[in-house]
Structure 1
Amino acid sequence: MKTKQVSVFLENKSGRLNEVAQILGNADINISAFTVADTSDFGVLRLIVSDPEKACEVLKENRFSVRTTDVVLVNSPNRPGALSRMLQILSAEGVFIEYLYAFSMDNDTAVIVIRPTDIDKCVEKLENHKDDLLGKNGHYRL
């Protein structure tokens, strides 16, 4: 499923990540997943939140540089080989992935956040290959 991801540009200094968490918490916005990529001078905090538009609004009000990006969320079996199976299909279909990250919902399910260069192609190819992704015991859901 396509969803909006919030990206926040942060200076690499103590407390900045906590500021974002406090601002979002005070605005009653839940963070479901996040990842941080950094360089020596700054970081990019990528978030899946309960209300992306409101998150951008409150963060901009607090002088953070923010933008939204479309990403694909895939519910995947949380077991060995599931990620590889999905990545092999996307690679064979010519879907280039800029980055991805994942989190576990429980012992059975992981959610994979994918940022492909062509989001519609990624969704189409995953939907076209649902049977291939399922395997014997698997379940995938966009």
Structure 2
Amino acid sequence: MVRQLSVFIQNKSGKIASVTRTLYQNGIDIRALSVADTADFGILRMLVSDVEKARTALANENCIVSVNEVDVVAVPDRPGGTAEVLQRLAEANIDIEYMYSLIDRGTSDAYMVFRLSDEANTNNVLEELGLKTVPGKMLGLN
């Protein structure tokens, strides 16, 4: 499992820039980022180099921040690699709450970040596919 930072932001111009600027000013690297929004608010989900430092820096800027755990899975970087994993998760009745991707230039794999409904069963399905979750340190995360 990898620790993910979620920042709740108003859906207004410049809010994401403000968050990323705060992270930059505190020497924090963003390794992956996803935005989900509604008309009024959004959730900025990120994998960052130092979760606790990021949480503190953003809280000091009056941001609403939470930390939760997600799975990062190395998926074969070929046509159908992601589709195969998603099909197997569906067959095992594992719901995907959300997902996004990240790229690591030092490998031939693609990485998918998952928040899944059934952690115990997920590990079995991934093992059957010959896939494993990736530890945060391997991706430059604390």
Give the TM-score, by structure 1 length. 0.85
Is the counterpart of residue 57 in structure 1 residue 56 in structure 2?
yes
Q: Indicate the percent of aligned positions where both proteins have the same amino acid.
A: 37
- SS in structure 1 of the partner of residue 62 of structure 2: coil
Write the distance in 1 (CA, Å) between the matches of 2:48 and 2:103.
Answer: 16
Write the distance in 2 (CA, Å) between the matches of 1:120 and 1:24.
Answer: 33
Pairwise CA distance, 1:121? 3.0
Match of residue 74 from structure 2: 75
Pairwise CA distance, 1:125? 2.6
- SS in structure 2 of the partner of residue 79 of structure 1: coil
**Which structure 2 residues correspond to residues 20-59 of structure 1 after superposition, within 5 A?**
20-59=19-58
Pairwise CA distance, 1:123? 2.7
Write the distance in 1 (CA, Å) between the matches of 2:53 and 2:121.
Answer: 28
Deviations 1:63-109 (A, max 9, x none): 00010111000111211100111111111222111110112334832
Count of matched residue pairs: 132
Pairwise CA distance, 1:115? 0.5
Write the distance in 2 (CA, Å) between the matches of 1:78 and 1:46.
Answer: 23
Match of residue 122 from structure 2: 122
Match of residue 4 from structure 1: 3
Write the distance in 1 (CA, Å) between the matches of 2:121 and 2:29.
Answer: 29
Write the distance in 1 (CA, Å) between the matches of 2:33 and 2:120.
Answer: 23
Give the TM-score, by structure 2 length. 0.85
Question: In angstroms, what is the RMSD of aligned CA positions?
Answer: 1.6
Match of residue 13 from structure 1: 12
Gaps of 5+ in 1: 132-139
Moved beyond 6 Å, runs of 4+ = none
Amino acid corresponding to residue 26 of structure 1 in structure 2: Q
Alpha-carbon contact 1:34-1:47 (below 8 Å) kept: yes
Alpha-carbon contact 1:72-1:123 (below 8 Å) kept: no
Gaps of 5+ in 2: 134-142
